[in-house]
Amino acid sequence: MTLDTVKRALETPGERQPYAELGMKDDEYQRVREILGRRPTGSELAIYSVMWSEHCSYKSSKVHLRQFGTKAPKSEALLVGMGENAGVVDIGDGWAATFKIESHNHPSYVEPHQGAATGVGGIVRDIMSMGARPIAVMDSLRFGGATQPDTRRVLPGVVEGIGGYGNCLGLPNIGGEVVFDPCYIGNPLVNALCVGLLRKDQIKLATAPGPGNKVVLFGARTGADGIGGASVLASATFEEESQAKRPAVQVGDPFMEKLLIECCLELYQADVVVGIQDLGAAGVSCATTELAAKGTGGMRVNLNLVPLRDPTLRPEEILMSESQERMMAVVAPDDIPAFMAICDKWDVPATVIGEVTDTGRLVMTWDGDVIVDIPPGTAADEGPVYERPLVEPAGQTALNAAGPCRLPRPTTGAELRQTLLTLLGSPNLASKEWVTSQYDRYVRGNTVLAQPADAGMLRISEVMPGAQDTDRGIALATDGNGRYAKLDPYTGAQLALAEAYRNVAVSGASPLAVTNCLNFGSPEDPEVMWQFAEAVRGLADACRTLGVPVTGGNVSFYNQTGTDAIHPTPVVGVLGVIDDVSRRVRPGFVAGDLRVVLLGETREELGGSEWAHVVHGHLGGLPPRADLEAERRLASVLTTAAADGLLEGSHDLSDGGLAIALAESCLAGGVGCTVTLPGDDPFVDLFSESAARALVCVRPEAFDPLAELCARQGVACHGLGVTGGTALSIENLFGVPVEELREVHTKTLPGIFG
């Protein structure tokens, strides 16, 4: 087998190379030739093809994502912004939190269990590589229609994969979403979020400075995972008839990842790490080029030293392998013995494979021959950037014109009661316990709130040594609504942010920073690209208004089958801080004899609503207004009231409106309520999805202080009634026993998934 060395590349300039099979365009390949002044070797082609892919280079999204920086609100909390493995924010008392959400959509469709599992593994390593201890995960999931046959294949596997991996890592799963819509049937969305904690003066970065420093690959051995593309390369380069079929989806080993977590934390504590990077997409290619590009600029690597699980792997395949549970560290030579001793304690294989140089070149050898010799920045940072054409979708105006106003509405008490039960038992609003009971929400003992609470919350003290000196906690929520974004991507993205922001505030925490996962169809379709551009613009504008910066995230394009794209689905995660975690507000009606209070204003807003979707299968009109100033005022009321001890329980209003919020609040505490609707139209009161609203319950004596607080902030405050009894009773309209609510709410998913 001929090795394609740099020497050979110079000697055979005209050799045909399979760049198109690797997804490179003609002009991209030509640019590589110009950069190198010769044709690339097979290994170099492997590196450029994968580093310049949409997934790694953000070539279609970059020009839009810049707004997250240019429009970013001033935030003293932001310690590390976009561009690193994950953003880092200051949460006070010397502590920092790092968090990020990332998609693993396509692998999860191909092989749901491993696809979802390795999605968790990847995001956890991103958090580890910032120098943090990962402390919790959550997942935002979207599937096809609940009763569509393929959903029964995909959902159980995804849930088992997330649970199997996350549970074995010892990370509590504290929240997320499960949404069903036929638009996701061929393109399920698996977005995994991880949050970690670290001292704010101990942030680690992906950089390789200091010539002479050693490059250490540690963790699992490298196998043939996820290198379908490289096999094409190898066979074409070497003119072989056939290469063994390589698996396209990576396989995870959560036990190794758990060892890696503990091992990394000990390495950080021993202060023997100069720079660190996890190996995710594009494996060794990505880690070496990115580390070198951000450091002194040069690196020399002997690829023969990479420990292999499959000894037959060729260098091109080693470079592209996406084997899981691997990290790369830059270590001073004197620290190597200490580094190796810690890896040995945790039974983590570790190998020096190269060193940092000041040559400005990334040079790799195989059997002594040079097979890669490139300026690393050209692969890591200087990939192509596209300004793709944008066109408003042809049917957009008609879609917006076809509002829900003509849909028949329930009017009598009996009809409204039935509508409530129909919505409550529909797959999107039904209890997700079938899913969440497969996740460990208690491990490590710091979980203050977890699903079905609006936000997950963790206390900081006791998370790791030294944290005992803080009363603080962090809260996290993710939200997104593809139907809203389909109707208006600009507003839809803002509503996703608004809901996550509100959910954090409902728990008593102040929203601080944002991560996002932007799930869209093909960027080569101008109508999809318009949706993307609008969503990014909307989200960036909303972040500025709410004063919460985007710290990082991920774009997932090509979520479409043929010409059928998913609804544009920006998923937004918000992190908040609560100064005294014991002041957290529990979900729902936690006791009887409390006043039930609705905060915020209700308008007739039913476009894209759950009611229109479930009862009429209708999607049209405009989504609810995103009134960000109102969101900010509401959040201020909620967090102030929580800090003052005014709130006993709370819940945000979103999908399904007040009706669903009341029912869920009764279910959360197992307590009924008797309420009178505030407006003239019971249907609108119950089912409108106006944003910037929340339902709270307070002790009777706390009502006046809360009303005064609301008046000062300009937030509408309606006393609706009281908690107590065993039924949800809407005066003059209907009542439903809490037990009936529970039965309707809990039977749907077990009925479908067993």
Partner 1 sequence: MSAARVGIVTFPGTLDDQDAARAVRLAGAEAVPLWHADRDLRGVDAVFLPGGFSYGDYLRCGAISRFAPLMDELIPAARGGLPVLGTCNGFQILCEAHLLPGALTRNAGLHYVCRDQRIRVENTDTAWTCEFAPGQEIVLPIKHGEGRYVADAATLAVLESEGRVVFRYAGGNPNGSLGDIAGITNEAGNIVGLMPHPEHAVEELTGAPSVDGRGFFTSILKRLVNA
Which CB, 437 or 561, lies closer to partner 1? 437
CB 533 within 8 A of CB 540: no
Query: Least distance to partner 1 from the beta carbon of 601, Å?
Result: 34
Widest distance between CA atoms in the chain: 89
Query: Least distance to partner 1 from the beta carbon of 653, Å?
Result: 25
**DSSP characters over 681-720:** -HHHHHH---SS-EEEEE-GGGHHHHHHHHHHHT--EEEE
Residue 85, marked binder: no
3-state helix, strand, coil in the chain (%, to 5): 40, 25, 40
Residue 516, marked binder: yes
CA distance 175 to 451: 5
Indicate the helix (H) or strand (E) that contains 664.
helix 657-669
Residue 75, marked binder: no
CA distance 512 to 577: 7
Phi, psi at 298, each rounded to 5°: -130, 155
- Give the binding site for partner 1 (CB under 8 A): 160, 163-164, 167-170, 253-256, 258-259, 346-347, 436-448, 459, 462, 581-582, 584
How many Cβ atoms are within 10 Å of 10's Cβ, its own excluded? 12
Sign of CA dihedral 672, 678, 681, 687: negative
Residue 732, marked binder: no
How many Cβ atoms are within 10 Å of 387's Cβ, its own excluded? 10
- Helical packing angle, 62-70 and 526-546, nearest 10°: 10
CA distance 613 to 635: 28
CB 213 within 8 A of CB 355: yes
Residue 100, marked binder: yes
Which CB, 258 or 651, lies closer to partner 1? 258
Which CB, 65 or 127, lies closer to partner 1? 127
Helix residue ranges per DSSP H, 228-381 = 228-237, 254-269, 283-294, 315-320, 336-345, 376-380
Q: Which residues are catalytic?
A: 55, 104
Across 66-99, b (16+ Cβ under 10 Å) vs e yields ebbeebbeebebbbbbbebbbbbbbbeeebbbbb
**Is residue 426 packed enough to be buried (19+ CB in 10 Å), middle (13-18) or exposed (0-12)?**
buried
Residue 102, marked binder: yes
Indicate the helix (H) or strand (E) that contains 172.
none
Query: Least distance to partner 1 from the beta carbon of 459, Å?
Result: 6
Query: Least distance to partner 1 from the beta carbon of 438, Å?
Result: 5
How many Cβ atoms are within 10 Å of 23's Cβ, its own excluded? 15
Residue 90, marked binder: no
Query: Least distance to partner 1 from the beta carbon of 324, Å?
Result: 13
Residue 650, marked binder: no
Query: Least distance to partner 1 from the beta carbon of 431, Å?
Result: 12
Which CB, 442 or 564, lies closer to partner 1? 442
Residue 323, marked binder: yes
Which CB, 392 or 469, lies closer to partner 1? 469
> What 3-state class would DSSP assign to 372?
strand
Query: Least distance to partner 1 from the beta carbon of 751, Å?
Result: 15
Which CB, 426 or 436, lies closer to partner 1? 436
Residue 665, marked binder: no
CB 64 within 8 A of CB 71: no
Which CB, 667 or 691, lies closer to partner 1? 667
CB 456 within 8 A of CB 475: yes
Residue 104, marked binder: yes
Residue 294, marked binder: no
Residue 304, marked binder: no
Query: Least distance to partner 1 from the beta carbon of 253, Å?
Result: 7
CA distance 690 to 603: 6
**Is residue 445 packed enough to be buried (19+ CB in 10 Å), middle (13-18) or exposed (0-12)?**
exposed
Closest CA relative to residue 142, chosen from 657, 689, 659, 568: 568
Query: Least distance to partner 1 from the beta carbon of 457, Å?
Result: 10
Which CB, 365 or 470, lies closer to partner 1? 470
| Beta strand residue intervals within 534-568, DSSP E | 550-556, 560-561, 564-565
Which CB, 170 or 186, lies closer to partner 1? 170
Query: Least distance to partner 1 from the beta carbon of 437, Å?
Result: 5
**DSSP characters over 260-284:** HHHHHHHHHHTT--SEEEE-BTBHH
Residue with tokens 């909307």: 538
Which CB, 165 or 490, lies closer to partner 1? 165
Phi, psi at 322, each rounded to 5°: -110, 35
Bind-site residues: 58, 100, 102-106, 125-126, 250, 278, 322-324, 516, 553-554, 556
Bind-site residues for ATP: 58, 100, 516, 553
